């Protein structure tokens, strides 16, 4: 009888100490959860608050009347939603059209100054970009691109190129070169081997870079503020003007619209960006 | 032909970077010295006269936010690497990433409501009896800006740092553990020194990002003193004064360059 109890006692101690350790763990993790989700919950409450002012802890009335206003057929929000999404699609098309050849060249072909070229695409991320946008706006003003969709798309393409080119290059270098050579040996032309073999195999990585560029464009504020406003109103610009006008309901609904694709991307990013592609980024 | 194919395929993308990034960047440097058709330092004396307080404020805010981001990222990465309770590690891994992909403009909006005088932060503290409702104040000043920057950038740096920590050799960690070293000591003396390069890359990128963000200072801290980015926007929207705006832009580039130089110096010393 004495043998089992001797071996059980330390285990019970271990369980007890584990339980006690859960007190600080739960406090810290709970605090972290509050700091991360608290602001998001506060935003969600604002989207359905009809009347809410100091010193009331919670709204006085709840309802969806602001949702109705946001999605009214001729409302500002629908216009900005359409503008934002079409700008993002044009931006993806533009940056992929530039990044697929560039990425392929970086991954497969002989290039002089390859390292320097990779670095050049990183530059827009390595400087605070506000001074650059200010001067793009000044340049665009002279050639009448200011306040046009094309102007905003060009700014977003430049900003998104670093992701597009770096991820495309990584996606192409993760494709097994032997498969291309096999296609060439069977008589396929270089272009046919690229379209039928290399491109489909690199597609998940290219898809990831497309989603990245899409989100960057959807969320971009500073460039659109200087180049687009007030003629082109994207969702971030609408959020900003609604918020500075004190209309927190419209601002919070717009914030929610911008938030959903970002969170969805966070949850699926690992499916698109496989480890073998990720390991080749920047090489 | 094949020798030309590579440069041919890459040139369109390079031309876009050249025309829409390098040319405007050069224009901002030249424009900073342009005073009514001639060249001089007039814009900088004006910037110095009007905005010295804001320049110092910006450097301090961004520096403080970067330091806090680094500390939190090390703490999160350290727990993910050295934590012994699988459930707690899994919860933290799921939890910490959420703000990473949330755009700055949304961060500004959600924190503006959360940190307001009657926001959810204060009302939760009141509900727990930790705060007297009569002394509740709004945090929408320099504190709000720091919170917004740290909130948004910590997951990014923590992701980089925890990735680097995960690929470290477990042998030395286990050996130190067997010799009785505490986990905190292992983190500070063994783990962090081996991931300094990754940590610094993440922090320099965050520093530069924070220096260029316009939405957060506009939304959270529009009163004086404010950040250089808000001053640039104000200078343009009110006076169309490109000279002083560009001078302020060049000053913010210079502050970022100091951060990058610091990174290079630490990196070089490690390489030796």
On whether the CB atoms of residues A92 and A213 are closer than 8 A, the answer is: yes
Residues 128-147 of B with CB under 8 A from A: 133
- Cβ–Cβ gap B233/A112 under 8 Å: no
Contact predicate B215/A239, CB 8 Å: no
Set out the domains of chain A in order of their start, with CATH numbers: 2-47 (no CATH), 76-278 (1.10.3720.10)
Residues 45-64 of B with CB under 8 A from A: none
Put simply, the answer to whether A243 touches B112 (Cβ < 8 Å) is yes
What's the CA gap between B15 and A103, in Å, rounded? 15
> How far is it, in rounded angstroms, from Cα B244 to Cα B45?
9
Report how far residue B60's alpha carbon sits from residue B46's, in angstroms, rounded to the nearest whole number. 21
CATH number, domain B45-271: 1.10.3720.10
Q: What are the DSSP calls for B177-221, one per residue?
A: HHTT--HHHHIIIIIHHHTHHHHHHHHHHHHHHHHH--HHHHHH-
> Alpha carbon of B272 to those of B261, B266, B268, B269: distances in Å?
17, 10, 6, 5
Instruction: Give the pLDDT confidence score for residue B2 in this predicted structure.
Output: 67
Cβ atoms of B212 and A222 closer than 8 Å: yes
Q: How far is CA B150 from CA B8, B57, B73, B158, B209, in A?
A: 42, 16, 10, 11, 12
Report the gap between the CA of B215 and the closest CA in chain A (Å): 7
Q: Please tell me which of the candidates B22, B91, B232 has its beta carbon nearest to residue A130.
A: B232
Shortest CB distance from B212 goes to which of A42, A128, A251? A128
Nearest chain A residue to B88 by CA: give it.
Answer: A25
Distance from CA of B271 to the nearest CA of A (A): 19
Query: Nearest residue on chain A to B6, judged by CA atoms?
Result: A105
Of A133, A165, A236, nearest to B105 by CB-CB distance is A236
What pLDDT, on a 0 to 100 scale, did the predictor assign at position B205? 84
Of A127, A236, A265, which has the smallest distance from its Cβ to B253's Cβ? A127
Cα(A121)–Cα(B21) distance, integer angstroms: 10
- List per-residue pLDDT tens for chain A, 283 residues long: 444 444 555 666 767 777 787 888 889 999 999 999 999 998 898 888 877 776 677 777 777 777 877 777 777 778 888 889 999 999 999 999 999 999 888 888 888 888 788 778 777 777 778 888 888 988 898 888 888 899 999 999 998 887 888 888 888 888 888 888 888 888 888 788 888 888 888 888 888 888 888 888 988 898 899 898 788 888 999 899 888 887 888 889 989 988 888 888 777 766 666 656 666 665 5
What residue ranges do the domains of chain B occupy? Answer: 45-271
Q: What is the pLDDT of residue A154?
A: 93
CB of B258 within 8 Å of a chain A CB? The answer is no
For residue A57, give the nearest of B14, B102, B123 by CB distance. B123
Which tokens sit at A217? 């464009």
Question: Are residues B25 and A244, on separate chains, in Cβ contact within 8 Å?
Answer: no
- A1 to chain B, closest Cα gap in Å: 32
- Is B169 buried (19+), middle (13-18) or exposed (0-12) by CB count in 10 A? exposed
Q: What angle (nearest 5°) sits at the alpha carbon of residue A253, between those of residues A248 and A256?
A: 120
Q: Is A205 exposed, middle or buried (0-12, 13-18, 19+ CB in 10 A)?
A: buried
> Terminal CA-to-CA distance of chain A, rounded, Å?
65
pLDDT tens digit at each of 272 positions of chain B: 567 888 888 889 999 988 988 899 898 888 888 887 778 888 888 888 888 899 999 999 999 999 999 999 999 999 998 888 889 999 998 899 888 888 899 999 999 989 988 888 888 888 888 888 777 888 888 899 999 999 999 998 998 898 888 888 888 888 888 888 888 898 988 899 888 888 888 898 889 889 888 889 988 887 778 899 888 888 888 888 888 889 999 998 888 888 878 777 776 666 54
Shortest Cα distance, chain B CAs vs residue A2, angstroms: 31
Contact assessment for residue B242 and residue A139, using Cβ atoms and an 8 Å cutoff: no
| A141 at B interface, C-beta within 8 A | no
Q: B106–A98: do the CB atoms touch at under 8 Å? A: no
Q: How far apart are CA B183 and CA B177, in angstroms?
A: 7
Q: Across chain B, how many H-helices and E-strands are there? A: 14, 2
Contact B215 A236 (CB under 8 A): yes
Q: Do B109 and A131 touch (CB under 8 A)?
A: no
């Amino acid at each position: 009888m004495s043998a089992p109890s001797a071996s059980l006692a330390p285990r019970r101690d271990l369980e007890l100490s584990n339980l006690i350790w859960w007190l600080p763990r739960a406090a810290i993790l709970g605090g972290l959860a509050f700091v991360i989700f608290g602001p998001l919950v506060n935003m969600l409450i604002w989207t359905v608050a009809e009347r809410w002012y100091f010193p009331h802890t919670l709204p006085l009335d709840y309802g969806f009347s602001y949702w109705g206003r946001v999605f009214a057929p001729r409302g500002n929000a629908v216009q900005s939603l359409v503008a934002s999404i079409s700008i993002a699609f044009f931006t993806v098309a533009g940056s992929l059209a530039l990044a697929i050849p560039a990425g392929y060249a970086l991954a497969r072909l002989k290039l002089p100054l390859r390292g320097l070229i990779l670095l050049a695409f990183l530059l827009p991320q390595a400087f605070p970009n506000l001074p650059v946008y200010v001067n793009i706006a000044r340049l665009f003003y002279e050639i009448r691109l200011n306040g046009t969709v094309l102007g905003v798309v060009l700014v977003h393409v430049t900003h998104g190129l670093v992701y597009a080119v770096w991820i495309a290059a990584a996606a192409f270098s993760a494709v097994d070169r032997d498969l291309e050579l096999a296609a060439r040996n069977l008589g396929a032309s270089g272009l046919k081997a690229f379209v039928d073999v290399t491109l489909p195999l690199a597609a998940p990585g290219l898809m990831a870079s497309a989603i990245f560029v899409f989100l960057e464009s959807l969320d971009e504020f500073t460039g659109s503020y200087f180049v687009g406003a007030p003629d082109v109103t994207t969702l971030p610009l609408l959020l900003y003007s609604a918020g500075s006008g004190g209309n927190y309901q419209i601002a919070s609904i717009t914030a929610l619209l911008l938030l959903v694709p970002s969170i969805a991307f966070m949850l699926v990013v690992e499916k698109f960006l496989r480890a073998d592609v990720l390991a080749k980024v920047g090489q | 032909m094949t020798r030309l194919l590579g440069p041919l395929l890459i040139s369109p993308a390079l031309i876009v970077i050249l025309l829409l990034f390098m040319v405007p960047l050069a224009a901002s440097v030249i424009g900073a010295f342009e005073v009514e058709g001639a060249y001089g330092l007039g814009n900088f004396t004006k910037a110095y006269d009007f905005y010295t307080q804001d320049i110092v404020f910006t450097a301090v805010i961004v520096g403080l936010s970067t330091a806090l981001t680094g500390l939190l990222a090390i703490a999160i990465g350290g727990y993910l690497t050295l934590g012994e309770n699988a459930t707690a590690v899994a919860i933290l891994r799921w939890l910490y990433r959420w703000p990473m992909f949330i755009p700055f403009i949304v961060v500004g909006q959600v924190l503006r409501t959360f940190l307001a005088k009657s926001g959810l932060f204060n009302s939760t503290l009141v509900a727990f009896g930790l705060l007297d409702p009569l002394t509740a104040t709004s945090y929408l000043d320099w504190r709000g800006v720091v919170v917004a920057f740290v909130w948004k950038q910590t997951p990014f740096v923590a992701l980089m740092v925890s990735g680097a920590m995960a690929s470290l050799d477990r042998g030395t960690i286990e050996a130190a553990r067997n010799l009785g070293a505490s986990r905190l000591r292992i983190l500070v003396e063994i783990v962090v020194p081996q991931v300094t390069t990754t940590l610094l890359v993440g922090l320099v990128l965050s520093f530069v990002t924070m220096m260029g963000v316009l939405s957060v200072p506009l939304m959270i801290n529009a009163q004086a003193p404010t950040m250089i980015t808000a001053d640039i926007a104000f200078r343009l929207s009110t006076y169309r004064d490109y000279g002083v705006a560009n001078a302020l832009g060049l000053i913010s580039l210079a502050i970022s360059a100091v951060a990058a130089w610091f990174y290079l110096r630490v990196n070089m010393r490690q390489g030796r």
